[in-house]
Amino acid sequence: MLRAPAKDAGFIQMNHPTVAIVGATGAVGVEMLLCLEQRNFPLGKLKLLASARSAGKTMTFRGEEITVEALTHDSFGDVDIALFSAGGGISLEYGPSAAKAGAVVIDNSSAFRMDADVPLVVPEINPEAAKNRPRGIIANPNCTTIISLMALKPLHDAFGMCSIIASTYQAVSGSGAQGIIELEEQMKAINAGEPVTLKVYPRQIAFNVIPQVDTFTENGYTKEEMKMLHEGRKIMNLPDLRVSCTCVRVPVYRSHSVSITAQFERPVDADAARASYAGRPGVKVVDDITNKVFPVPLDTTGKDDCLVGRIRKNLVFENALDLWVVGDQVRKGAALNAVQIAEIL
Ligand code: A2P
């Protein structure tokens, strides 16, 4: 097996690499395992890492039981590709150790995304960026940003995008396993006539929506909302792209939806917009309003493709389109995108 030196710049020859999942027991980690299995990823060995609490547990991969190990700085000696999904703190602490040990780190957290020496990659949009990784780290973008850009890249190629206004409808699994538990517990409490307990979210999420995802920044936008601007510019290589976003948590288990108004340099047309998706991998048009056909979160749950609908010419801005995009944020927004980056390596 050829090991991947951290300083290597380019796509590398790896024959059946050893892959580690850091945070294997979490919502995204479990999905990474599933993606590797379903996509028949050509791996040699799989290493599952989590906190000391999970050490000794077993998880099934391709019919075999694999024992979860506690993450340490020495976990990466035999690892070629390390998929990190245990939160930003863990990535900051252990990511550099993994890269130093020779693994290519694919990090799902926001810890390194805006680092100039760390490429931020959506394989359908900027795969070539993965070649140049001076720190041995490749960042996986924010889930909402990935899903939105999957819908916007074909339109950008057709009409030249200059600004985006978006509102998101984000599922509770975006907050990890604890988000799902909070929604379930609150629904049970309400149905039993008992008071709800708040642990993960600032307000009740059951039978409610919350216009706050992540913490607020000085300009009144949340960190999640600013990610769409900064990460969108970096991935699309559009430093002047203007973005204004409102991120909202909704009581949906899985799949984020985004309502987008995008403005372009050139005149737009809804039919030409729909046609721009032809032959694009990972994104499909589901848009037939006469038959009430449009995508909803349940359509994309557990699926790879992002679905786009409600495409229409915006009535306010010149050269602008309105659209609705839905994607499984645990999958394309996190685990699948990371595994696809590993595939292009
Ligand atoms: P564990 O299950 O042992 O706590 P989620 O985002 O779904 O909550 O998942 C978080 C993931 O990150 C889990 O796999 C969790 O492992 C892992 N994790 C949390 N803290 C640590 C830690 N200190 N070291 C290693 N893994 C961690």
Q: Is 173 in the pocket of ligand 1 (CB under 6 A)?
A: no
* pLDDT higher than 50, residue 3: no
pLDDT of residue 176: 86
pLDDT tens, 160-199? 999 999 999 999 999 988 999 999 999 999 999 999 999 9
Q: Is 86 in the pocket of ligand 1 (CB under 6 A)?
A: yes
**Which atom, in ligand 1's list, is nearest to the CA of 71?**
25
Domain 145-329: CATH superfamily, name plus number: Dihydrodipicolinate Reductase; domain 2 (3.30.360.10)
| pLDDT tier, 5 (very low <50, low <70, confident <90, very high otherwise) | very low
- Determine whether the shortest distance from the Cβ of 50 to ligand 1 is under 6 A: yes
Q: Ligand 1 centroid to 34 CA: how many Å? A: 17
Which pLDDT score is estimated for 266?
98
26 in contact with ligand 1, CB cutoff 6 A: yes
pLDDT at residue 8 is higher than 70: no
pLDDT of residue 7: 39
pLDDT for residue 2? 40
Ramachandran assignment for 217, one of left (phi > 0), alpha (psi -120 to 50 degrees), beta (any other): beta
- Closest residue to atom 1 of ligand 1, CA basis: 51
Which of 21, 25, 54, 182 best tests ligand 1's pocket when mutated (most atoms within 8 Å of CB)?
25
Task: State the pLDDT confidence band at 11, using cuts at 50, 70 and 90.
Answer: low
Distance 159 CA to ligand 1 centre (A): 42
How many whole angstroms from 123 Cα to the centroid of ligand 1? 26
Question: Was domain 18-111 assigned CATH 3.40.50.800?
Answer: no
Domain boundaries, the chain: 18-111, 145-329
Q: Does residue 29 line the site of ligand 1, with CB under 6 A? A: yes
Tell me, what's the pLDDT at 27? 87
Band of pLDDT at residue 13, cut at 50, 70 and 90: low
Mean pLDDT score of the chain: 95
Q: Which residues are catalytic?
A: 143, 256
The tens digit of pLDDT for each residue in 198-231 reads 999 999 999 999 999 999 999 999 999 999 999 9
Determine the residue type at 143.
C
